[in-house]
Amino acid sequence: MLSKISLILAAAAAVSAAPVEQRAADTIQVPVKQVNNVKSALGLVQAGQSRLNKINNGGSKLRARQSSGTVTNEDVSYIASVSIGGSAYDLIVDTGSSNTWCGAQGSCEPSGSGQSTGESVEVSYGSGSFSGTEYTDEVSFGGLTVSSQSVGAASSSSGFNTVDGIIGFGPVDLTQNTVSGQSEVPTFMDNLYSQGSISTEVLGVSFRPESGSDDDDSNGELTLGGTDSSRYSGSITYFPKTSSGSAAPYWGTSVSAFKYGGSTLGSTSGAIVDTGTTLIYIPTSAYDNFLSATGGSTDRNSGLASFSSKPTSNFAIVINGNTYSLTPSQYLIPSDQYSNFGITNSGKYYSWINDGGSSGVDCIIGQKFLENYYSVFDTTNSRIGFATAA
């Protein structure tokens, strides 16, 4: 669902911060569930590459993806149960877009307290899209409620097989030009903050890898208005959100290097941190070097990086001098899950790391990275944070 973007970011020193102390009245924890609705690994690979293509080729309709709540992964996506006008909808938790909408699986109409605005709404995500009309209504998630939230009611949609829509946690900039007659619309988080339901506009995200062959566990948590120190160890290190270039409307940052073992695979990349993308995409040159270092190749059938022998070294992403490593067991697809992705060759190893292209934004820090690191999306201070998952 993303595209590639050229990114100019002034280097800024990362700031380490002690875990944020939370007050029960200020933060909400909400569980989320992971759902795998993938028909093939190739479709999964192409979904992320389509998102990169959409970002890098402009398109004003590409728009981004808190209390705490549970989320589930579907497509593979993390899904939250959200109340809109008193009815429950299963919505994708997406930091790569910012509109909230429903109706992919059926009717999504204003409640008795809702009100149609008469405006049209349209959003394209690269590998999916929706269009319809806007209304405002009561939206509740994790015990917090916005009384008059902008909601898109889809009259048509594509790329959403079993979920009802999306709840967007991206920056408000991503709502620009999505609703007719409005330059942008406040996000759910914007409204929670402006009405005083949360004291700081911060979203903490905890995802967990699936175990065994399971593909639909309640293995995630969102914290609205702060962070949950039980979900990470050590301190959170923050990086400034990208303020210029094509990544600026997104939760963007600058990656200084990619590594395999002691070798540098590549450097200087524009990156998007996106809960709505499953795989980890890195620049083509770094991906090619990764394959060379591991003796791997791109599998023709699945589109995944594949290996005859299991890689033995860690893969790492370096941001402002801070190294975030994944062990082989973290960046390789568990063999118990092969059938979930239509992989039939059980004699090979396959990776969550894939080719992000060679221009613009060429890196997506997706779910398979975020399942190993706690992530923080801080609108108030315009920064992104990571800490080791507990």
* Residue positions annotated with a catalytic role: 94, 274
Q: What are the φ/ψ torsions at residue 386 (nearest 5 degrees)?
A: -135, 145
Interstrand relation of 297-298 and 322-326 (parallel, antiparallel or unpaired): unpaired
Q: Which residues contact 112 (CB under 8 A, 6 or more apart)?
A: none
Interstrand relation of 252-260 and 315-319 (parallel, antiparallel or unpaired): antiparallel
In 3D, which of 69, 67, 66, 102 has the Cα closest to residue 87?
A: 102
- d(Cα 373, Cα 325) in Å, to the nearest integer? 10
Q: Where is 30: in which H helix or E strand?
A: strand 28-35
Structure tokens at 24: 């029960």
Q: What are the φ/ψ torsions at residue 43 (nearest 5 degrees)?
A: -65, -35
CB atoms within 10 A of CB 25: 10
In 3D, which of 172, 169, 232, 201 has the Cα closest to residue 27?
A: 201
| Side chain identity, residue 3 | S
- d(Cα 113, Cα 135) in Å, to the nearest integer? 11
CB atoms within 10 A of CB 182: 15
Q: Where is 330: in which H helix or E strand?
A: helix 328-331
Q: Is the distance from CB of 224 to CB of 149 less than 8 angstroms? A: no
- d(Cα 140, Cα 43) in Å, to the nearest integer? 32
| Side chain identity, residue 368 | K
Q: Is the distance from CB of 8 to CB of 232 less than 8 angstroms? A: no
- d(Cα 25, Cα 193) in Å, to the nearest integer? 13
| Side chain identity, residue 125 | Y
Interstrand relation of 165-168 and 87-94 (parallel, antiparallel or unpaired): parallel
